[in-house]
């Protein structure tokens, strides 16, 4: 008989689950036995990932959500509870960036949207998930930050700041929610091969330009979605139940 998965019996919501890191986490969590709620603003992407999970024999639903909107986040949590009756893991992964550019070239409307998606989303996930986690007497948040919070690159100032907020909010939530047996951790990935790559680089994705970025990563390669997914499985696994307030760099040594 095969061993049960590390996340057997657990239910995970993954925002931005329709692409990149979120998609990889959805598959990795499902392989470990979790039931998955794929939340994404892009309905087609969320449905595609959900259909792939179901085709592999996993239990999953997709839900359209804009993580910056309270009504959407309420509906996401309600959909998870209606289908699966519990929520064990909330992955706040959906995020965006301005293109790499001088800081004064990012207009105010874009700044507001960036902070709503990358930072207000954490507030909204707390508002709608913490009462559920408190009722259950357990729960786990995983927030996707960035090495941008630790070693900011020029041209990404407002994005870097939004990820700095993810770090501090993660630690502050961890200490405040610990008495409720709610763990809160973050993952800080390095530059990765997802659709966001060219936004961060600010230059064409050529071999020469990649080489410049790779030179700043000691292990000499970009982050892969599977690197983040494996770190997220560790943080979601009840075996890591003494780990909270950690912002784990998954960065090939970039932040050393
Ligand atoms: N790609 C990188 O180099 C990198 C590095 C460090 C951190 N990150 C962070 O990782 C996270 C995921 O990024 P990715 O590279 O997988 O990006 P991605 O663009 O591949 O996927 C992001 C997903 O989030 C969804 N999304 C965007 N805005 C949303 C919203 N308001 N509500 C709901 N869904 C929304 C998109 O539709 C998309 O499916 C982000 O928080 C990003 O800041 C990325």
Ligand 1 in reach of 22 Cβ (< 6 A) = yes
How far is it, in rounded angstroms, from Cα 128 to Cα 64?
A: 16
Going by CA atoms, what residue is nearest to atom 36 of ligand 1? 16
Q: What is the pLDDT of residue 204?
A: 84
CA dihedral 246, 41, 135, 163 (to 10 degrees): 20
Ligand 1 in reach of 116 Cβ (< 6 A) = no
Q: Which atom of ligand 1 is nearest to the CA of 145?
A: 7
The arrangement of secondary structure in 11-249, i.e. its CATH architecture, is 3-Layer(aba) Sandwich (3.40)
- Residue 159: active-site member: yes
Ligand 1 in reach of 252 Cβ (< 6 A) = no
How far is it, in rounded angstroms, from Cα 19 to Cα 22?
A: 6
Kindly state the percentage of the chain with pLDDT values over 70.
Answer: 99
| SS (HEC) of 9-36 | CCEEEEECCCCHHHHHHHHHHHHCCCEE
Burial class, 55, CB count within 10 angstroms (exposed 0-12 / middle 13-18 / buried 19+): exposed
Q: CB under 8 Å to 14, separation ≥6 — which residues?
A: 22, 25, 26, 29, 36, 37, 38, 39, 91, 93
In the chain, domain spans = 11-249
Going by CA atoms, what residue is nearest to atom 30 of ligand 1? 66
Q: CB under 8 Å to 9, separation ≥6 — which residues?
A: 33
pTM of the model: 0.98
Q: What is the pLDDT of residue 5?
A: 97
Three-state SS for 3?
A: coil
How far is it, in rounded angstroms, from Cα 128 to Cα 202?
A: 36
Three-state SS for 227?
A: helix
Q: What is the H or E stretch that residue 163 is in? A: helix 157-177
Region of poorest pLDDT, from 43-47, 136-140, 166-170, 194-198: 194-198
Q: Which atom of ligand 1 is nearest to the CA of 159?
A: 43
The upper half-sphere exposure of residue 171, i.e. CA atoms within 13 Å in the direction of its Cβ, equals: 8
Burial class, 190, CB count within 10 angstroms (exposed 0-12 / middle 13-18 / buried 19+): buried
Ligand 1 in reach of 15 Cβ (< 6 A) = yes
Kindly state the percentage of the chain with pLDDT values over 90.
Answer: 90
21, 141, 159, 200: the active-site residue: 159
Ligand 1 in reach of 220 Cβ (< 6 A) = no
Ligand 1 binding pocket mutation candidate from 63, 97, 196, 247 (most atoms within 8 A of CB): 196
Ligand 1 in reach of 161 Cβ (< 6 A) = no
Q: Which atom of ligand 1 is nearest to the CA of 116?
A: 31
Question: pLDDT, tens digit, for every residue of 81-122?
Answer: 999 999 999 999 999 999 999 999 999 999 999 999 999 999
pLDDT over 70 at 1, yes or no:
no
Going by CA atoms, what residue is nearest to atom 8 of ligand 1? 146
User: Band of the pLDDT at 201, cuts 50, 70, 90?
Assistant: confident
CB 251 within 8 A of CB 147: yes
CA 1 – ligand 1 centroid, Å: 38
Question: pLDDT, tens digit, for every residue of 176-186?
Answer: 999 999 999 99
Ligand 1 in reach of 41 Cβ (< 6 A) = yes
End-to-end C-alpha distance for the chain, whole angstroms:
43
Q: What is the pLDDT of residue 4?
A: 87
User: Band of the pLDDT at 213, cuts 50, 70, 90?
Assistant: confident
């Amino acid at each position: 008989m095969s061993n049960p998965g590390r996340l057997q019996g657990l239910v995970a919501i993954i925002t931005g689950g329709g692409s990149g890191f979120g998609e990889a986490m959805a598959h990795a969590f499902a392989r470990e036995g979790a039931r998955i709620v794929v939340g994404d603003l892009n309905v087609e992407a969320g449905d595609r990932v959900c259909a792939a999970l179901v085709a592999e024999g996993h239990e999953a639903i997709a839900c359209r959500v804009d993580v910056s909107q309270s009504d959407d986040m309420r509906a996401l949590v309600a959909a998870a509870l209606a289908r699966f009756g519990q929520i064990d893991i909330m992955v706040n992964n959906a995020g965006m960036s301005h293109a790499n550019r001088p800081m004064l070239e990012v207009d105010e409307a874009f700044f507001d949207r960036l902070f709503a998606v990358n930072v207000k989303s954490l507030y909204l996930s707390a508002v709608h998930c913490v009462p559920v986690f408190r009722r259950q007497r357990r729960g786990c948040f995983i927030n996707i930050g960035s090495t941008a919070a630790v070693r900011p690159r020029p041209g990404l100032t407002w994005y870097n700041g939004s990820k700095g907020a993810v770090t501090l909010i993660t630690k502050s939530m961890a200490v405040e929610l610990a008495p409720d047996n709610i763990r809160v951790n973050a993952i800080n990935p390095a530059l990765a091969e997802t659709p966001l790559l060219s936004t961060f680089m600010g230059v064409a994705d050529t071999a020469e330009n990649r080489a410049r970025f790779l030179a700043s990563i000691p292990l000499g390669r970009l982050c892969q979605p599977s690197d983040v997914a494996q770190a997220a499985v560790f943080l979601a696994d009840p075996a890591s139940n003494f780990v909270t307030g950690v912002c784990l760099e998954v960065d090939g040594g970039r932040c050393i």
